[in-house]
Structure formats: structure tokens, C-alpha cells
Chains A and B, each alone.
Chain A
Amino acid sequence: QKEVEQNSGPLSVPEGAIASLNCTYSDRVSQSFFWYRQYSGKSPELIMSIYSNGDKEDGRFTAQLNKASQYVSLLIRDSQPSDSATYLCAVWTGFQKLVFGTGTRLLVSP
């Protein structure tokens, strides 16, 4: 059973649209959730963290968490070509480590 699941994509959206990225996790005791952006050949870059049910907004990014459904999502408003990257969902399971999903590749076309 995969611990953190993401659709590998690619998810293609036009410039200016909203991109919606989804992630599910299997461990009910997971406490903390993170979204990282990874450009090809580069390291993961932290975008958002979320710890409580509901929405958390930071600029063009909104993270949403539903612990009952074991679901976390990332919305990117006004998508730009520079947002084209792989978005990694990561879950803290309480064992001093982050567990990553395989990532969703986002393509934003001009």
C-alpha cells in the first residue's frame, strides 16, 4: 500500500488558469503536510505547509487539508509558465521523516 499517492500527470493548464493538485495519504496519524516544488534536476523547494483541517492561503497558493478523508490539495491561481514543475506532496508521519509522493508534473502553457 502506497503511503502517499499523487497522480503523476502531466496536468496541463493554460496560463492564468487555476491548477489543482491532489494527494492522498494512508497513515491516519499523519500530522503535518507539505507541498514542495521541484524543477527538473533541482532540489525540492518548500511552498506550503498545512497542519489543520481547512484552507491555508499564501499568495497564489492555497493548501487544503481534510484529515477525515486523508486528502490534501494544492491550488495554484493565475498559473504562470514558470509554475511548470513537479509538485511533491510530503507527509510527516511522526517517525522523524517526511514521506513523499511521486509528484505531479504541472505544465502551464502560455
Chain B
Amino acid sequence: EPEVTQTPSHQVTQMGQEVILRCVPISNHLYFYWYRQILGQKVEFLVSFYNNEISEKSEIFDDQFSVERPDGSNFTLKIRSTKLEDSAMYFCASSPLPSGGAEEQYFGPGTRLTVT
């Protein structure tokens, strides 16, 4: 069964460093998302991406964050200058069709980011 994959599974970085989290969405999916979950808290939306553009972003997704689909398979989240409060589990998700709403999102296993 196709699945979303993410690398690395765990990333430790120092405050102020740049990190890139990588995702390979399910191959025939067209909508891509990033969510994060701080330990013990709820899953929070960061950004959605379709047709090489950001469709929607949350207030969390400030200028320190960017997303990119550098090739036909990868979808990346970059944090330019990490802060302690960026420590969280980051989930990539994808959905099959562009109509939105009724399309089910499938989540990858996540990358645990630890900022020290």
C-alpha cells in the first residue's frame, strides 16, 4: 500500500541553525501539507501546497519557514533559523485530488525535531 515517507526520523539541531525536513508524498497525490505537533499538544496545520504554490498557511508559518517541491517526488520544509520552540514532531501529509474538502489526508511517520 502506498505511503508517505519522511526523512530523517529524528533531527537534532542547535538554535539558529537551518534544517530541512524531507517528505515523499504518495505518488498520485497532488495536495501536500505540513503539520506539527508539540509534545502533549494537538496537531497544528502549518501549510498546504498545490501546483507548486502555497494554498494556505497558518500564523505559525512565518518568514522562517518555507516549502519547496524541488523535483517530482520530494516535498521539503525548511526552517531557516531554528528556535527552541520549534521542537516538535513534524508531519507531512498528502491527498489525492485538488478539489479539497472531501479528500482524505494521509500522514507520514513524522520527523522529530529537537532544537537545543
Q: Which of B33, B41, B56, B104 has the most CB of A within 10 A?
A: B104
Indicate if the CB atoms of B43 and A92 lie closer than 8 Å. Answer: no
Interface status of A102 (Cβ within 8 A of chain B)? yes
Q: Do the beta carbons of A31 and B107 come within 8 Å of each other?
A: no
Q: Is the CB of A102 within 8 A of B42?
A: yes
* A103-B44 Cα distance, complex, nearest whole Å: 12
Query: Is the CB–CB distance between A100 and B56 below 8 Å?
Result: no
Known: A31-B102, A34-B104. A96 touches B48 (CB 8 A): yes
Which segment, of A11-19, A20-28, A44-52, A65-73, faces chain B? A44-52
Select from chain A the residue with minimum beta-carbon distance to B56: A96
Contact B101 A95 (CB under 8 A): no
Q: Given A95-B56, A96-B48, A97-B58, does the pair A46, B106 have CB atoms closer than 8 Å? A: yes
Majority DSSP secondary structure for residues of B touching A:
strand
A34: B residues at CB distance < 8 A = 104-105
Residues of B within 8 A of A97 (CB): 33, 45, 48, 56, 58
B74 at interface (Cβ–Cβ under 8 A)?
no
Q: Which residues of A contact B100 (CB under 8 A)?
A: 92, 94, 96
CB-contact partner of A100 in B31, B44, B55, B110, under 8 A = B44
Interface residues in A88-110 (C-beta closer than 8 Å to B): 88, 90, 92, 94-103
Which residues B72-116 have CB closer than 8 A to chain A? 89, 91, 100-102, 104-110
Complex contacts, A95 vs chain B, CB 8 Å = 56
List residues of A whose CB falls within 8 A of some B CB. 31-32, 34, 36, 42-46, 49, 51, 88, 90, 92, 94-103
5 smallest CB-CB distances across A and B, nearest first, come from: A96-B56, A97-B45, A96-B48, A100-B43, A96-B55
